[in-house]
Amino acid sequence: MLSVQGVHKSFGSIRAVRGVSFEVRPGQVVGLLGPNGAGKTTTIRMITGFLPPDDGRVMIGDLDVSRDSARARAKIGYLPESAPHYPEMKVREFIAHRAALFGVARQGRERAVGEAMERCQLGAVASRRVGVLSKGFKQRVGLAAAIVHGPSVLVLDEPTNGLDPTQVREARSLIKDLAKDRTLLFSSHVLSEVERVCDRVVMIAGGELRADGTPGDLVEKTSLTPVHVIECARTPDPLPILRKVEGVADAKLEALADEGWVRVRITPRAGHRDLREALAAAARGAGLAVRELSIDRPSLERLFAELIERPGAVGVGGGA
């Protein structure tokens, strides 16, 4: 199990990580989600032992990554955003080199390399030089190198970054397969990838933990309300018409590319979750042409945007 316990990290006056805590249990895939500069990479570097925390600790099972670094790091497989490769080495040669660096015994090294290559489907390129491979195959080589020593915890930092759609699907399938027999932490700023791959989401912004839970639980527990979206004619002025509807708390106008049409986003008051009929009736009574009326219900994407842009504005229940 991976346990991050109240870690802090500063660089001069910059507080990069502020008291972040979460756990990843065996067999779980947890997504570490946040915008660029949120503190994700610094957190990952503390987890993998590349940076010591200023305060708090990281545990791999019963091993403290800072105090028992060598033994703890032997249990971690790490694929950084830019996977390190020796482009002149052949695939099998490179993975065998990584196995040796990890201390895999000589008598078991060939078997470990073969199993890692098979798991990552690298047989067809085993004799090719790493430097001539596609980005997708280079990521597979990086994954094989990260698991060749049989780690119980696998940490992946932006593993689908820069891949084309086909390569992303292949990487997603491979990550799910690798998670079957180990603890896996998946860091990304791409929300759709985290939703597709992960059982649980940990959101970080400004170096702080903002939310922790399954995607479904986070959306269910959020204090966000459904927003009604109306595309209507610019005249007559829609704002005074729609603001008079009972249950409307706020209405904001957005310009559209089409001249003569606007979009209005309406926030209902508490207890008024569906105002579509009332809004349509008000528009019809005022002679306001409407071409679209829908509800933008709470979603992980909306939750993420609110947590990042308006910290403290959204109530979210945490939980591992």
Residue 123 region, left (φ>0) first, then alpha (ψ -120 to 50), else beta? alpha
Which amino acid makes up residue 21? S
pLDDT in tens, 187-225: 887 777 788 888 899 989 889 998 898 887 887 776 677
Strands (E), the chain: 2-11, 14-24, 29-33, 55-60, 63-64, 76-79, 153-157, 183-188, 200-205, 208-213, 227-233, 248-255, 261-268, 290-296
Selection from 277, 249, 273, 252 nearest residue 263 by Cα: 252
Question: What's the pLDDT score for residue 309?
Answer: 65
Helix (H) or strand (E) holding 274: none
Mean predicted confidence (pLDDT) in 314-320: 49
Q: How far apart are CA 20 and CA 9, in angstroms?
A: 10
What tokens were used for 272?
């008024």
pLDDT at 311 over 60: no
> For 274-277, which contacts have Cβ atoms below 8 Å and span 24 or more sequence positions?
274/226, 275/228, 275/245, 275/247, 275/248, 276/228
Q: What is the pLDDT confidence band of residue 84, given thresholds at 50, 70 and 90?
A: confident
Q: Which residues pair with residue 33 across a beta bridge?
A: 188, 203
- What secondary structure letter does DSSP report for 132? G
Q: List strands edge to edge, sheet with 227-233.
A: 248-255, 261-268, 227-233, 290-296
Q: Which residues pair with residue 59 across a beta bridge?
A: 3, 64
Domains of the chain: 2-221 (3.40.50.300), 227-297 (3.30.70.260)
Selection from 162, 207, 145, 219 nearest residue 13 by Cα: 207
Residues belonging to the chain: 320
Helix (H) or strand (E) holding 288: none
For the ranges 103-107, 179-183, 216-220, 261-265, which has the lowest average pLDDT?
A: 216-220
pLDDT in tens, 22-77: 999 888 899 998 887 888 889 999 999 999 999 999 999 999 999 999 999 999 99
Q: Exposed/middle/buried for 240, CB within 10 Å: 0-12, 13-18, 19+?
A: exposed
Most confident of 67-71, 134-138, 284-288: 284-288
Question: What's the pLDDT score for residue 169?
Answer: 85
What tokens were used for 132?
């001539």
Question: What's the pLDDT score for residue 82?
Answer: 78
Mean predicted confidence (pLDDT) in 97-106: 93
CB atoms < 10 A from the CB of 184, how many? 26
CA distances from 98 to 51, 113, 195 (A): 21, 9, 31
